[in-house]
Amino acid sequence: MRLRILQYGSPVLRAKGARIDQIDERVRQLATDMIETMRAANGVGLAAQQIGQPLQLTVVDVSKVEDRPSTLRLNGKEVDPKTASPLILVNPEIVLGTETSLGIEGCLSFPEITGEIERAETVRAKAQALDGSPIELEASGLLARALQHEVDHLNGILFIDRMNSAAKVALASRLKRMQKETERDIRKTPRALEPETAL
């Protein structure tokens, strides 16, 4: 099922995701729905906060991107990031490499806004797969960038927080407008935008 992607101004985007202790049917369904939602929106990644669930769960898919390469070592083996996509990561923890680079990013919660963000070129991550088994990965390129963007979401951090101050100033009025629109939507349809807290 496709889910509604929440936009900037939704309070849940600022919430730190709770650790998932038990990967039950509901978590598995959520991951399936998140993949469907991400693909329908042509996204490279989606975090649970973006569909209203403050949980440590994210999905990433670089398989449709041709012009920005990635590498991936999964559990010690070099694999094609495209065939390994979508990656579903439960409770991910990442360690950043020391080299950084600038790159353009967008975010499904900020329609039509992009910005140049400095990120580590490589990351190492530990997480759990949907069956509960541990995953260890090392990534570079677009995949490394996407993982940093998504793990930020899981901690309530948004890509605008990482823009330089000139970019923030240039975007300020658009962001304020977006926030106001979202707040108006929430007042009109509170149920649709409130995160469910039962999980």
As measured in angstroms, the least distance from the Cβ of 180 to Zn ion is 20
Least separation in angstroms between CB 162 and Zn ion: 11
Cβ distance to Zn ion smaller for residue 79 or 102: 102
Binding mask 118-157 for Zn ion (x = CB under 5 A): ----------------------------------------
Alpha helices for 41-140 (secondary structure H): 81-84
73-81, 104-112, 117-125, 138-146 -> range binding Zn ion (CB under 5 A): 104-112
Is the Cβ of residue 91 or residue 110 nearer to Zn ion in the bound state?
110
Minimum distance between the CB of residue 5 and Zn ion, rounded to whole angstroms? 9
Q: How far apart are CA 74 and CA 72, in angstroms?
A: 6
Q: Which two tokens stand for residue 100?
A: 């950084």
Tokens coding 114: 């992009």
Q: In angstroms, rounded to a whole number, what is the distance separating the alpha carbons of residues 121 and 98?
A: 8
Distance, CA of 158 to CA of 181 (rounded, Å): 18
Q: Which amino acid is at 55?
A: L
- Would residue 150 show up in a list of annotated catalytic residues for this protein? yes
What single letter denotes the amino acid at residue 15?
A
Size of the site for Zn ion (CB under 5 A): 1
Q: Tell me the closest approach of the beta carbon of residue 136 to Zn ion, in angstroms.
A: 24
Which one of the spans 77-85, 103-111, 126-134, 167-175 is the region binding Zn ion (CB under 5 A)? 103-111
H-helix segments, 114-164 = 141-154
Residues, the chain, total?
199
Residue 155: half-sphere exposure toward Cβ, Cα within 13 Å: 11
CA dihedral 155, 161, 163, 168 (to 10 degrees): 160
Selected binder of Zn ion within 12, 30, 72, 107 (CB under 5 A)? 107
Residue nearest to Zn ion (CB): 107
**Catalytic one of 36, 78, 116, 150:** 150
57 binds Zn ion (CB under 5 A): no
CB of 133 to Zn ion, least distance (A): 26
Computed on alpha carbons and rounded to an integer, the radius of gyration of the chain in Å comes to 16
Provide the binding-site residues for Zn ion, judged by CB under 5 A. Answer: 107
Q: Which residues are catalytic?
A: 150
